[in-house]
A and B are shown apart, each in its own frame.
Chain A
Amino acid sequence: MTKMVHYTATTNACKLCRPLGAALAFRGIEGCVPFLHGSQGCATYMRRYIISHFNEPIDIASSSLGEKHAVYGGGPNLKLGLNNVTAKYHPSLIGVASTCLTETIGDDVPMLLEEYKAEFGTAETPEIVHVSTPSYSGTHMEGFNGAVKSAVEQLAEPAEPNNRVNIFSGFISAEDIRHLKHIMNLFETPFTLMPDYSETLDGVALIEYPLIPKGGTPLQDIAQMSGATGSIECGHTLPDETAGTFLETQYGVKRSQVGLPIGIKETDRFVEKLKEITGRELPREMQESRGRLIDAMVDGHKYIFGKRAIVYGEEDLVIGLTSFLSEIGIKPVLCATGGKSGKFETSIRQILELVDSEIPVIKDGVDFFDIEEIATSLNVDMLIGHSKGYTFSRKSNIPLIRVGFPIHDRVGGQRILHVGYHGAQQLFDTITNTVIQHKQDQSSVGYSYM
């Protein structure tokens, strides 16, 4: 009961629930249908939430548990659901994530899946992986990372060394994934990037509704991950056990952990690792985009120097953005997240101390009510984060720079580029132009020439 002393209700949460992250990650594996073991509402709500960002179909199956299943166990419905998904979608993989309901009634999913394979397994039966995602513990990021880890644990096989590089890029936009793949191609290095929802959640116009959209990390590549030269995992706040640590302990694949490659230094660190693993030099195109970025930063620096920003969202996204802001002269005054990995504050301090930057207010486990309350004393010039900060932005007339997920009030959220030098370039332009526009809008003169 001691915890109750500090308990406050959550108002306008700055996090999502755990199974959502798992569904997104599963969507990034080729031929996979995400499947939530729980009541129908979970799958439907999450589909709606995801659709409103990506503007793409996303089928998430559900075991649609009813009252009697909640009492007698959800096993029969899980099995029926798996049969139906197999019959209708012919998936090569079904990614089963649990929900608060099935975790609480005590369904033993791994055991149920064993039973299922014994009872119904045929040549048609797809691979099935499972991840435990109780919504009452952690956020969508634990779900996302957990699903990636579970899929690798359950799908990787012993493999011959194959000089590929495994990239676990974390929760980034579809455009980000495309850009990272482009970078890998520039390095002329074979790679397995996971999860890859750059096509499955941002596909082309079609004539036939696909059972399962094209794209995603191929199953055979995941199976071969154990033979890779090395793994790069993006994110400072990843859990202690990840897909990368599994591959390292189980198969001796050397693991490197970096942050999300956002801004100059974090991208430098990412490409340093790539250079190290591949033995290649920084490709010319990247040298040039880095150079162009610095040139652009010089051109625009005055407009933004000393501006004060609140950055919120998933922990690693906030860390990356904070690092970038400190490089361009914007002061992060509040770094906030709904997540609670326990590594958020340390990571931000480390990054800012390296550049001798002032330490902002750093808060984890907060909601938008807290963010607004803290903000009142901070004299803020801009908010940087997803759409859910709009209410606050509007109320306080502070411009919002939209990044991350979800973007529910603009088109193109899936096409926002955050990573790499190119991503930093786009962020720089967006941020600087937002500041200029705000000044222009508030000005009584209305210069057309800045």
Chain B
Amino acid sequence: MGSAAVLKDRKNQIFRKGNEPFDIDCNKDSLAGAVSQRACVFCGSRVVLYPIADALHLVHGPIGCAVYTWDIRGALSSGPELHRLSFSTDLQEMDVIFGGEPKLEKALYELIEKHEPKAAFVYSTCIVGIIGDDLEAVCKRVAEKTKIPILPVQSEGFKGNKREGYQAACNAMARLVGTGDIKGISKHSINILGDFNLAGEIWVIQEYFNKIGVEVVANITGDGRIEDIKRAHGAALNVVQCSGATMELADTMQERYDIPSIRVSYFGIEDMAEALYDVARHFDDSEMMRKAEILVRDELKTIMDKIGVYRESLTGKKAAIYVGGAFKAFSLVKAFRLLGMDVVLVGSQTGTKADYEELEAITDDGTIIVDDSNPLELAAFIKEKEVDLFVGGVKERPIAYKLGVAFCDHNHERKEMLAGFEGMLNFAEEVYSSVMSPVWNFVPRRKEVR
């Protein structure tokens, strides 16, 4: 790629498989002025806790942080929908000078009375960290009076990137876990961690688990409920998806309650099947394993022919992946392989060294692996690799579209169900409907190729 697109300080965060021994820099602060695709600590906390539907989510700060996160996730609820409202203390200049605690306290009383939530999460923003409001103290006071848990989330934006935000979210949830009644929970029970019920995904996953005889205690956090999280320590196993958004909570529960955890992905048929088998293996239950095998067989029967049709058209097309967490990228690499497509670029905002090592292991020679990339780099890679489809989030979409490249949204804002076996079919359909559109015949880059 043209060196113009890569800043010197970023060279070590880009690796091309095949040339030399694997090495990549990651887990670094974003470079000033590089237009990172990353967000902030607050964003990390907000996306993780967002789907808890019966809690009040109050953003303590100026209006921006709340308004940019209003109803942004496609996280569905089977009941209350308090999470879809945007609450802010809307701090003004005077509050910055004299402190925002009085407004916070008043806002909490007002909103709790109005909406009767089961708990409240209070998110700290950049400015709160600077003016030094004592969130803990306010939350404690309000909790005593209202008799519901009021949980401070220490998510000052500047204190790192999304990962620190995940940690802050997990810390807040860890205060809930262990406070509920765990009587009557089955020995074959799990918590689902790291699925956010985008477009109803967790309902599909839950049904799979129910079918193989596993009780789900708490969804953390898709279609989440405060009461369930309180009794999450009653589960026998934590099943954790995603790169680490909720891993911290699983670790805490391991420490405190000796609950083991396994990491899974529900995306793609291999990973989905493996998730069910892993759980059956964990409980060492042959009946459960048999049920899982039947389930997988039946599900595959209904989707494989249809996927085959898409595969025929998609074989040999080139895919680029740039996502938030690297764990999602592993599954995407496999899913594209199932569709016959070649992955030529894979990257993430917040991957760790271990994540990138795994990516290096599962990709083909020549694949570009990149950490914390930016629009100019991504655009240059797209062009160099003659990519047919880009998979990423909303911020990557216009880059792909501007250059006349098909796109699939795999971020938390999507409205398509992509998990489980059915989700794989949806994914194939979505990729197909973008790659095969006749509109690409008109874009400049195709005209040039001809």
Contacts and interface: CB of A to CB of B under 8 A. Distances in A.
Interface of A: 1, 3-4, 7-13, 15-20, 35, 38-49, 51-52, 54-67, 69-70, 77-78, 80-85, 87-88, 99-101, 104-105, 134-137, 139, 203, 205-209, 211, 388, 391
B90 A10 contact: yes
A141 to B, nearest CB: 13
29 contacts: A11-B86, A11-B87, A13-B67, A20-B64, A38-B158, A40-B38, A41-B42, A42-B157, A44-B37, A46-B64, A61-B33, A62-B33, A64-B29, A64-B30, A66-B29, A67-B158, A70-B126, A84-B7, A84-B31, A87-B7, A88-B4, A100-B125, A101-B158, A104-B131, A135-B62, A135-B64, A136-B91, A205-B442, A209-B382
A4 B102 contact: yes
Contacts of A7: 103, 106-107
Contacts of A64: 29-34, 36
Max count, chain A CB within 10 A of own CB: residue among B68, B96, B380: B68
A47 B93 contact: no
A3 B84 CA distance: 29
A205 B444 contact: yes
Contact of A41 (B32, B39, B91, B129): B39
A9 B91 CA distance: 9
B158 A39 contact: yes
B62 A100 contact: yes
Given A4-B102, A10-B87, A209-B380, A45 B64 contact: yes
A165 B63 CA distance: 37
Contacts of B71: 391
Contacts of A39: 40, 126, 157-158
A136 B157 contact: no
B406 to A, nearest CB: 13
Max count, chain A CB within 10 A of own CB: residue among B40, B42, B131, B376: B40
A80 B32 contact: yes
A377 B73 CA distance: 32
A59 B35 contact: yes
Given A9-B58, A209-B379, A44 B126 contact: no
B76 to A, nearest CB: 15
B22 interface: no
Contacts, number: 239
B103 A4 contact: yes
Nearest to A135: B62
B127 interface: yes
Interface string B45-63: 0000000000000100111
Given A135-B64, A139-B63, 12 more contacts: A4-B102, A10-B66, A15-B67, A18-B64, A40-B157, A59-B35, A61-B34, A64-B36, A66-B160, A84-B7, A101-B127, A136-B62
Nearest to B380: A209
Contacts of B197: none
B88 interface: yes
B397 to A, nearest CB: 7
B315 interface: no
A13 B40 CA distance: 21
Contacts of A211: 376
B227 interface: no
Contact of B158 (A19, A59, A66, A136): A66
A134 B131 CA distance: 14
A20 to B, nearest CB: 7
B85 to A, nearest CB: 6
Contact of B102 (A1, A41, A46): A1
A51 B398 contact: yes
B32 A84 contact: yes
B102 A9 contact: no
B443 interface: yes
Contacts of B354: none
B31 to A, nearest CB: 6
A12 B86 contact: yes
